[in-house]
A and B are shown apart, each in its own frame.
Chain A
Amino acid sequence: MIPVQPPSGFPTRRPPPGRHKSRPHPPRESLERAGPAPLRRVLICIPAFNEEHRLPATLRSLADTLPGGADVVVVSDGSTDATVSIAEKAGVHCISLPINLGYGGALQTGFKYALRQGYDVLVQMDADGQHDAGSIPKLIAPIQQAQADFVVGNRFHKGCPYDSPFVRDVGRRFFASICRCLTGVPLKDPTSGFKALNRRVLELLVRDGFPMDYPDADVFIMLHLAGIRIREVDVMMHRALPGQSMHSGWFHPVRYTAKMLMSIVMTLLRHLGGHDV
């Protein structure tokens, strides 16, 4: 396990409550079922690339599960179909990237948006209907109770019917064990795309070092080395609705594994050189 040393200049203290008053939008209550602690502004960020068929169901499930709750932003990653118009018709915020930046690029755009609009918590979820909106309160609860900065939704537990293909499961276990060895955090599902993060994490992830393609295990290690408190909570996930996945194809697992291993090694080397993020 690698010892954590917050780098110089890294904000180790939370900003005073008065700072929130200067934000462009006044804080308001959202996600009222999330817990007893004072509720903060929450943004649900959905990166989407050509998701015209699956996005409506995802937005509907959000509306059904969290009525009048959090704000929602759909980041269209250079979609060429009706993704943008579907999001606009649904009345959610929509950021339309002119070119395809990749999953990480779209996510980072959502992070920048959340920071600039003064949100305190961001929940990232996929557009393919895999992530259960009902688990969002559970996901953000550790952040609201100031127990964690970064929360990952674990889909591999007894109460979740989700079943991943064999190859993907082997990869997930492999990277989970690397994360556990390097960070000491008992992570089971580092490849989960269902996460919640606070402003402290957002400020780190909008920097140049954020991977534009697959931000997974390497980001966990990077955040752990930067002193971020990481928690994993059990969430519900379903099989994705039928459609093209960014993980499909025979070449993708090879490319993903090679890239992720390289990225982890580079993260460790940067840490040794004194540059955590």
Chain B
Amino acid sequence: MSDQFEETRLPPRQKAWVVTLSCSILYLTLDLVRRRRFREDDSWLWLLVGIITFVLGLHYRLLKRISSLLGIVAPTSTIFFFGQLFLMLLALQSSLRHAALTRAIQVLAQEHSLHLATHHRKQAPGTGRNP
């Protein structure tokens, strides 16, 4: 069963695809950050994915070694495993960002309304008593 995984190098065509893909991810991420469409804080996960894909594409033996360390038979399954891990981390990062933004919006809305109310109160000091 393990014969099919005894290759020590990726076929050149696959290697070309992997290198192209990883370079594209890295370029796209850096370009988006450069154009301020993507925040530096959010870019590290994508940069990490690009670098890991690039390294594993060039060093198939490393991928096999990681696979055997994790107890995974097929190196491709390791790729899928890391892909899933990446998606989970991405979802977690998005949730954290969402919670922080929600809180910020809540505070902004409260502060805005309180400033308006205080302003109105100064303009009409007699109001607000029990009707």
B121 at interface, CB cutoff 8 A: yes
The answer to whether B106 touches A96, judged by C-beta atoms less than 8 angstroms apart, is no
Contact with B along A66-90 (1 / 0, CB 8 A): 1111111101000000000000001
Taking CB atoms, residues of chain A closer than 8 Å to B131 are 59-60, 62-63, 72, 90-92
Provide the residues of chain B in CB contact with A112, threshold 8 Å: 110, 114
- Are A95 and B128 in touch, CB under 8 angstroms? no
Whole-angstrom CA separation of A60 from B130 in the bound complex: 9
Partner of B130, one of A71, A75, A99, A101: A71
Interface residues on B, range: 10 to 19
A183 within 8 A of B: no
Q: Does A228 contact B (CB under 8 A)?
A: no
Partner of B128, one of A67, A73, A97, A212: A73
Are A101 and B117 within 8 A (Cβ)? no
B117 in contact with A94 (CB, 8 Å): yes
Q: Would you list which residues of chain B between 108 and 131 have a CB under 8 Å from chain A?
A: 109-110, 112-114, 116-118, 120-121, 127-131
A109 in contact with B110 given A93-B117, A93-B121, A96-B116 (CB within 8 Å): yes
Known: A98-B112, A109-B110. A91 touches B128 (CB 8 A): yes
Consensus secondary structure, chain B interface: helix
A116 proximal to B (CB < 8 A): yes
Is A95's CB under 8 angstroms from B113's CB?
yes
- Which residue in chain B gives the minimum CB-CB distance to A42? B130
Given known pairs A93-B121, A116-B118, A212-B106, the reply for A98 and B113 (CB within 8 Å) is yes
**Residue of A at shortest CB range from B105?**
A99
Whether the pair A70, B130 counts as a contact (CB closer than 8 A) is yes
Interface: B34 (CB within 8 A) = no
Contact partners of B106 in chain A: CB under 8 A: 101, 105, 212
Which residues of B from 53 to 110 have beta carbons under 8 Å from A? 103, 105-106, 109-110
Q: What is the size, in residues, of chain A's interface with B at 8 Å between Cβ atoms? A: 34
8 A Cβ contacts from A211-257 to B: 212
A143 to B1, CA, bound (A): 78
Report the bound CA distance from A252 to B106 in whole Å: 22
The answer for the CA separation of A76 and B129 in the assembled complex, in Å, is: 17
Instruction: Assess the A71–B110 pair: CB atoms within 8 A.
Output: no
Judge whether A113 is part of the interface by a CB distance below 8 angstroms: yes
CA distance A44 to B110 in the complex (A): 18
Nearest CB of chain B from residue A122's CB, rounded to whole Å: 14
User: Is A154's beta carbon under 8 Å from chain B?
Assistant: no
Q: Is A108 an interface residue (CB 8 A)?
A: yes
Contact B117 A95 (CB under 8 A): yes
- Pick the residue among B112, B116, B120, B129 that contacts A71 (CB under 8 A): B129
For A95, list chain B residues within 8 Å (CB). 113-114, 116-117
A97→B117 CA distance, assembly (Å): 10
Question: Are B130 and A68 closer than 8 Å at their CB atoms?
Answer: yes
Given contacts A99-B105, A113-B117, A208-B103, contact A92 B110 (CB under 8 A): no
Q: Are A69 and B114 in contact (CB under 8 A)?
A: no
What are 16 A-B pairs with beta-carbon distances under 8 A? Answer: A62-B131, A71-B130, A72-B129, A92-B131, A93-B127, A93-B128, A94-B117, A96-B116, A96-B117, A97-B113, A98-B112, A98-B113, A101-B106, A101-B110, A109-B114, A116-B114
Closest 4 pairs between A and B when the two form their complex, measured CB to CB:
A93-B128, A90-B131, A95-B117, A63-B131
Using a CB–CB cutoff of 8 Å, the interface residues on chain B facing chain A are 103, 105-106, 109-110, 112-114, 116-118, 120-121, 127-131
